[in-house]
Structure 1
Amino acid sequence: MENWPANAEKTPTPAKLEPIAVRPDEAARALGLSPRTIDKLIRTGAIRSRTVGRARLVCVESLRAFMKGGSDDGRATA
C-alpha cells in the first residue's frame, strides 16, 4: 500500500469524451429552445435524430449545422 500514491501518479488521466449525441431535452437547453421546437425540427428533418431502444438521440453535428444557418444536409431552414 505504501507504493499506491507513486503508482497512481503514473496512471494517465483518461481524456474527457465529448458527446456525439444528446437527448432532445438537452438539445433544447443547449440551443435555448423549447423541447416542442426540437421535436418539430426533428419531424421536419432540420436536425437529425435516431432512436436507440426507447431513447431518442439528437446528433450534435446536426445541431451545429442547424445553428450555422442550415440543416446538416445543406438545406436552408427558416
Structure 2
Amino acid sequence: MTRPAFTCPVPDHHSTCPLESPDASMNILWVETVGTGVVAHGAVTTTLLTAVRAAHPTRYATLDGNSLTIWPPAD
C-alpha cells in the first residue's frame, strides 16, 4: 500500500523539506499540524532532526522520543 504524499505546511523552507522525502515517509506514521507547527510521529531519527533543522533554519525543531516537532515561529 502506498502512503499519500505529505506536503510540509511550514512556509519558510530553506530547501526541500526532509519530511517530504520517500525515506522519511516510510518511517513517519502520522503528522499533525497546528497552524505552521508540525509534529511528526513514528521512527524519527536524529539524522532526520538534523536535516529538518537545516531545511528550516528559522524554526526551533525538537525530538522527543518518537515525535519530531517543528515549532511555530515566536511572536
Between structures 1 and 2, the one with greater helix share:
1
More strand as a share of residues: 2
Higher Cα Rg, which structure: 1
Greater relative contact order (Cα < 8 A, sep 6+): 2
Same structural fold, with TM-score higher than 0.5 when normalized by the shorter chain? no
Calculate the TM-score normalised by the size of structure 2. 0.30
